[in-house]
Structure 1
Amino acid sequence: MQVIFKIWRQNQNTVPHFQSYQLEVDPGMTILDCLHQIKWEQDGSVAFRRNCRNTICGSCGMRINGRSALACKENVGSELTRLNQIAHQATALAVNPGASSQPVMTIAPLGNMPVIKDLVVDMKSFWNHLSAVDPYVSSAARHISEREFLQTPEARSQLDQTGNCILCGACYSECNAREVNPEFVGPHALAKAYRLVADSRDQQREQRLEAYNQKDQGVWACTRCFYCNSVCPMEVAPLDQISKIKQQILDRKDAQSSRWIRHRKVLIHLVKQGGWVDERRFGLQVVSNSFRDLRGLMSLGPLGLRMLVRGKFPLGFEPSQGTPVVRSLIEAVEALEDQPS
């Protein structure tokens, strides 16, 4: 079949543009196969990274039709199926119903990193943020020669999911928290961080949790958008690992520790009480810390006045009819979390 590949072309610090290449392809060909064909047969100047071609090294991460993925894993047939599903949804919503009949593949570099050339990005920030979480086991056994540090199969199994990360950059590319906050270490780093928290050999768990309990760099900067989970080619589920770190921090801290910890604890408490959030109490308890934080209390004033003027300030609160069910669900989850893993 004939497919048009629109490839992002850019030299460092220049304005990018897309260049089109037409290929005769088989549905089973991977995107990386197609890029090789373009480079070897049509334009040798196209730049991209690749190595193993077997979903192991993570080198060929790029945005394929708007989604960060591995070029060696995605093939033409599956991508066309995905694009057709999107087109059908757009047609149903009357959005751009007159699409081109010839298939088009759009290939762009990973996001949140500057472009060096075409599909090759500078991953310095990616590696620096990984280094910031100190992703190495801290154990006295490392300093004792000729000694094994054994783990039970159960303890080792806690590391399986995070150990699958191949550092391809897909999650980092799609992270909107990283996009607005360059200090945020990113989902890849925090997934690796949880691996150390869960490792029975590591002797710095408490120090690590303190380091990860940061507003701008640590777990609380995550916006929980789920993009990292959706694009991870190895099913590491970085958001799930970030949530596990948060829970360990919450288990060790009270509501007076910080506003973001108070936010989480008050939210759960109010939902258990009323089935949903009483916004009046939520603002006072979180932002003003139940009138302990005068600056926080004063910051609520302008917002409260605007809401009153526009008739949007809730004067009362009516609990949900399903409050007992919601409470029982939350308590069931809390009981599961309290069980030893």
Structure 2
Amino acid sequence: MQVRFQILRQNRNEAPRPQTYTLEVDRSDTILTCLDRIKWEMDGSLGYRKNCRNTICGSCSMRINGRSTLACKENVGSELDRLPIDAEPTITIAPMGNMPVIKDLVVDMASFWDNLEAVEPYVSSRSRAIPEREFLQTPEEREKLDRAGNCILCGACYSECNAREVNPDFVGPHALAKAQRMVADSRDGGTEERLEQYNQGTSGVWGCTRCYYCNSVCPMEVAPMDRISQVKGEILARNDRSVSRPIRHRKVLVDLVKSGGWIDERQFGVQVVANYFRDIEGLLSLAPLGLRMLTRGKFPLGFEASEGASEVRSLIDAVRELELGMGKQENREV
């Protein structure tokens, strides 16, 4: 069957331009195989990365039909099945996002690697004496590292990260997935220092917008969003709401939903931004919004709990009891 491959091509600091190639292919051919044929048979100037061809190295990440994935993993048939039934058999290929293009499908991943290094993704033994033997782990301890350990650093999650796109300080889902692995590693001696680091501003876990897109594009099912949530859970368990605004935001939100089924926004602003009237600067920052709401008749004078508030309350209590039981079980295993 004949398939059109529309490839977005460009050189550094130049505007991208689409270029189309038509190939006779089988549905089982991988996108990487098709790119190889284009380069070898039609246009030797086409630039892209590859290595293992076997979904291990992560080198051939690119955007295929609008999403970041591995060219060696996806095949022609599955990509065509994503198109509308009456659409022409066309597969679009573009470089990954959130990174500048060097040439064609090759991007500069310097920020990707720098942000990974920022979370210190290696086991720390600074706080303990290093014995003349290996650090041993039980199978249960090792099992906690499986999901994050599957990451091949392909960059797909980083490419599609909405938080990274609007916040250049955010280290990215790949880095925080590796960070969670370090927090969960029984051999690591720097857990408290790590959690303090990952709790800082919007560069760490609180910079995540929870869009879940990193989970959907990850080719290894690492689920970076879930790993970030686990780090948040560790931070929340160790700190009260007075420590920082992100922690207050999470805890106050849950408490208000538990109380009324939905959020009383009057209390939410005062408790989170103004820190229960302790943060004068934060309180003053709310004043312009409050005045605009009052003058336009949009400031609620009362609060009415939602229907089913008691059911919401029981669900939250059930989740907390479940988490408490899981924590006790983990402590017994250790």
Q: Same-fold call, TM > 0.5?
A: yes
What's the CA shift for 1:58? Answer: 0.2
Aligned letter for 1:303? Answer: L
Aligned letter for 1:83? Answer: L
Aligned to 1:154: 140
Partner deviation per Cα, 1:222-252 (whole Å, 9 max, x = no partner): 1111110010000000000000000110111
Superposed, 1:139-288 pairs within 5 Å as 139=125, 144=130, 146-288=132-274
Which stretches in structure 1 are left out of the alignment for 5+ residues?
88-98
Aligned to 1:29: 29
What's the CA shift for 1:298? Answer: 1.4
Partner Cα separation in structure 2 for residue 168 and residue 134 of structure 1: 18
Partner Cα separation in structure 1 for residue 218 and residue 321 of structure 2: 29
| Aligned sequence identity (%) | 71
**Equivalent residue in structure 1 for 2:88, among 88, 102, 111:** 102
TM-score normalised over the length of structure 2:
0.95
Partner Cα separation in structure 2 for residue 109 and residue 280 of structure 1: 45
Partner deviation per Cα, 1:291-315 (whole Å, 9 max, x = no partner): 1111111111111122223332222
Partner Cα separation in structure 2 for residue 257 and residue 174 of structure 1: 31
Moved more, 308-317 or 328-337: 308-317
What's the CA shift for 1:141? Answer: 10
SS of residue in 2 equivalent to 1:4: strand
Partner Cα separation in structure 2 for residue 197 and residue 145 of structure 1: 21
Aligned to 1:92: none
Aligned letter for 1:293? Answer: D
Which stretches in structure 2 are left out of the alignment for 5+ residues?
none
Moved over 3 A (4+): 140-146
What's the CA shift for 1:321? Answer: 2.1
Q: How many residues align?
A: 327
The answer to whether the 8 Å contact 1:2/1:102 transfers is no
Moved more, 287-296 or 306-315: 306-315
TM-score normalised over the length of structure 1:
0.93
The answer to whether the 8 Å contact 1:141/1:148 transfers is no
What's the CA shift for 1:183? Answer: 1.3
SS of residue in 2 equivalent to 1:83: coil
1:81 aligns with 2:81: yes
Partner Cα separation in structure 2 for residue 148 and residue 287 of structure 1: 48
Decide whether aligned partners of structure 1 residues 7 and 142 sit closer, same or farther in structure 2, where only a CA change above 3 A counts.
farther
SS of residue in 2 equivalent to 1:217: coil
What's the CA shift for 1:15? Answer: 1.2
Partner Cα separation in structure 2 for residue 160 and residue 24 of structure 1: 40
The answer to whether the 8 Å contact 1:61/1:71 transfers is yes
Decide whether aligned partners of structure 1 residues 143 and 22 sit closer, same or farther in structure 2, where only a CA change above 3 A counts.
farther
Partner deviation per Cα, 1:99-143 (whole Å, 9 max, x = no partner): 7x4211110001010101000001000000000000000126998
Aligned to 1:115: 101
What's the CA shift for 1:144? Answer: 4.5
Partner deviation per Cα, 1:28-64 (whole Å, 9 max, x = no partner): 1111111011111110100000011110000000000
What's the CA shift for 1:25? Answer: 1.1
The answer to whether the 8 Å contact 1:141/1:147 transfers is no
Partner Cα separation in structure 2 for residue 188 and residue 146 of structure 1: 33
- Cα RMSD between the aligned structures? 1.5
